[in-house]
Amino acid sequence: MTKLSVNINKIALIRNSRGGNHPDLIKVAMDCEQYGAEGITIHPRPDERHARYEDVAALKKVVRTELNIEGNPMDKFIQVVLDAQPHQVTLVPDAPEALTSDHGWDTLKHQKYLRDIIAVFKKEGIRTSIFVDADLKMIDAAVDTGTDCIELYTESYAKQYPRDKEAAIAPFILAGKRALELGLRLNAGHDLNLDNLNYFAQAIPHLAEVSIGHALVCDSLYYGLQNTIGMYLKKLQA
């Protein structure tokens, strides 16, 4: 069964837009779990424009499912992860000024860099995942970094899905099979939503986890948070 990890960055963005603590990010995370979410994802960036580094420690105290911390492994990020000891850390190659994640790691070019950082996390018993495109060369090279998991960057799938869903999913099926052959746990995320999630999950039955934030928070404006999480879970179970 594919797990749903709710990325709460957009909740943090709303909080930060007015200062103070409304909405309460920690309470929202606890509510997401109560409503059925099987993980909480947070992605603090260096400018802390949405999730803040201090949020990580607070979430660690309350998350009862799985806490996944995403980010570019700069020195501050590495220390925050080591202090929090989350269940999973997902390494993402986003530049500090990036609006959102827009590509996976070049696991050939950055192999030694990734290997060294992953070794630090694995020494602490933290499951590691790296963000990659649905490119077999990048997945093959990911094994040599020592990572436990890969997270497939699914924006290309989401963009092509309305026009040709079979063509959109094809490279991801191949990528998923290769990950399985190599013994890598398989996660996915970025632009997955209520329209395209079920098709993706059905095509890749060994998918361990999806991380969804922006679309889920947008849908909750219409359906409510509890109902929305239930709707996403049904898409994964159908």
Range of the domain at 217: 3-237
CB-CB contact of 141 with 107 (8 Å): yes
Question: So what's the pLDDT on residue 97?
Answer: 63
190 catalytic residue (yes or no) = yes
214 catalytic residue (yes or no) = no
Query: Which residue type does 6 have?
Result: V
User: pLDDT of the chain along its 238 residues, tens only?
Assistant: 899 999 999 999 999 999 899 999 999 999 999 999 999 999 999 889 899 999 999 999 999 999 999 999 999 999 999 999 999 999 999 766 655 555 789 999 999 999 999 999 999 999 999 999 999 999 999 999 999 999 999 999 999 999 999 999 999 999 999 999 999 999 999 999 999 999 999 999 999 999 999 999 999 999 999 999 999 999 999 7
Question: Tokens in use for 24?
Answer: 């309460």
59, 50, 99, 90: which is closest to 72 by C-alpha?
90
Q: Is 75 exposed, middle or buried (0-12, 13-18, 19+ CB in 10 A)?
A: exposed
The secondary structure element, H or E, covering residue 47 is: none
Among 38, 70, 151, 209, the one annotated catalytic: 70
Among 33, 66, 190, 209, the one annotated catalytic: 190
CB-CB contact of 212 with 236 (8 Å): no
Question: So what's the pLDDT on residue 11?
Answer: 97
CATH number of the domain residue 230 falls in? 3.20.20.70
Among 43, 66, 151, 209, the one annotated catalytic: 43
Q: What's the predicted TM-score (pTM) here?
A: 0.95
Query: Which residue type does 208 have?
Result: A
- Residue 12 in 3-state DSSP? helix
Question: Tokens in use for 67?
Answer: 């806490």
Specify the number of domains making up the chain.
1
